[in-house]
Structure 1
Amino acid sequence: MKDEELSGRLREAAEAHRPDRARMLARIERGMAGGDPVPRSVRPPRAVRPWLRVAGTTAAVCGVLAAGAFAVTSAGDGDRARGGQVASAPSPAAKSPAARDGLRPEDGPLWTGGVVDPHSNAYWAQSNVTLRTTEPLSALTVELRVALTGGVNSTGSWRSLPEPDFTVSVNESGGFLVYRWTLRAGRTVPAGTHTFAGQYNHAEGDRDATGDYVIAHAVRAAGGKASVGDHFGQGG
């Protein structure tokens, strides 16, 4: 038989062949009955690929099995990818236990206390920091930290000491709205009682200020350092 005639018959046989998809799948299921069942989430292809018609029944079965294996592998990869997208846990700095635990309101000549101003309302609040020193200070940094509960954003700040004596900054850091007053070089804080205040909007309602706190670090003009801090709460 000539090569041309053989090729022609093979081509005619391939074109005439119509694989019985239902029967192939039944064979696959019977062959796999003794092993692990096919996962329910994996469905067989809706139509046999065109090249399977040329390859014949055996190649078609192998192709379906390969497609099923690929589907299982792909599904597993997708599950791993989705499983890796874990929501980030809230920043521990928002609670800041290390920063707040052990705060002491008095250290040597320095004392501080924090309270929410009684004139605060359901939309706006002012946090008052009182700083008392029995000695002049050659350096001072006061830091008021307001927890970023709903809708908190700064509306301003002030201090009872002269404005030119301090640099002031307000920013968000570690889950807090941070007000920082720093005494300029060459300036002095006199002995006495002084006030620092931060003002901010917040979500409607009574705001819980128990997560707020103040810390202050100072250098005494006579020498030596002092650090104090206090927790906030509703007050008058």
Structure 2
Amino acid sequence: MSDITIEGLTIRLGLGAQARRILDDVSFKVRSGESFGLVGESGSGKSTILKCIGLLLTTWEGRIEIGGQPVREAKRKARCRDVQMVFQDPYGSLHPRHSIRTTLAEPLRIHGLDREAERMERAMVDVGLPVDFLDRYPHELSGGQRQRVAIARALVLEPSVLLLDEPTSALDVSVQAEVLNLLAKLRAERGLTYLLVSHDLAVVDHMCDQFAIMLQGRIVEILDRAAIPGNAAAHPYSRELIGASLAYERAA
């Protein structure tokens, strides 16, 4: 099982009267095989939640479980193999002096997995890239191709959960749809669980079954995707956010 359960996730910075909550009692659940979105303005805490799940941040209170097991109690190697993250900037997340082969081989060697060449070639095929791209370097690829490599790097360990931090926002509009369709296809084929951070409700509408709207470190509302077209939100901020997105789409 690869469901995600978050209860009372809180991060405090500062002391006494100057203390500030970066995350304030965040709770939600993502069912196994579901794609769940986090939306909201910049600084609302969306990406911080992903970093907490991946233990890139550890100074949090509350409970985070993957498949019923608290992430703090899971063995590090097993957790890192089961939960992978795709970052926003495909160029910044790839080492510029490492070939794609080296980039994909490193996690396989760390985890001691066999059939290294076969696994790398399969990952490239799965993300729609030629196998001979393994001997290229990031600067030789387009932005969309680099993000496909980043996705291949995540998939090569055969995880059950992908944390997606604005995976298409750094790409040209013409390429965004290709990457989103690829992610949707991979989830359907592999039964992956996605937690997707995005500022774009059109992306959430395309990718997610449910989504949470965040404001100043708190979740103000959790909605089904079906709530977007008719703006069926109840919270004033949610209605404003969805309304602005719908108005933008009509204008475009």
Structure with max Cα Rg: 1
Higher relative contact order (CA 8 A, sep 6+): 2
- Give 1 or 2: higher helix fraction: 2
The interval holding the TM-score normalised by the smaller chain is under 0.3
**TM-score under structure 1 normalisation?**
0.23
- Give 1 or 2: higher strand fraction: 1
